[in-house]
Amino acid sequence: MARVKINMPEKLGFTTQIPVRITDVNYGGHVGNDSILSILHQARVDFLRAMGFEERGPNDGLIMADAALIYKGEGFAGDIFDVAIGVADISPFGFDIYYRITTTREGKTILITEAKSGMIFFDYNARKVARLPEEWKEKVAVYDQDIISTGK
């Protein structure tokens, strides 16, 4: 069976912490896949706010074009997720965001999820893709893994 593959960058330059709520836990007793996507959304909002952006303004903002998640471990109610974020593949219309979720239990770091989301700038009035503003390009480029890795 073919599996999703994500070429995760080694270093992710932004981190945020998100506590796991009891409502994030499914009938399997661990954090559900739908909750992981919601946690990634919150992490993305934290990331954008740290740069002075909102995911959606009055007329335009980001829209998710795709998402890929790979589950590596289980998360449980009461865990504090450390979400590391980086950016790659900045284009005239958007960029990819990479996420790594870990938690610490009994002094050990446990990898929970690796993920990627393709984000496109979108004109919500015209209901179509728009060009990524230069200010966005400049600020997200600080977290661009290609630049961080090569030092360019």
pLDDT in tens, the chain (152 residues): 889 999 998 889 999 999 999 999 999 999 999 999 999 999 999 999 999 999 998 899 999 999 999 999 999 999 999 999 999 999 999 999 999 999 999 999 999 999 999 999 999 999 999 999 999 999 999 888 654 443 44
Domain 14-146, CATH class in plain words: alpha beta
Residue among 87, 83, 64 at smallest CA distance from 136: 87
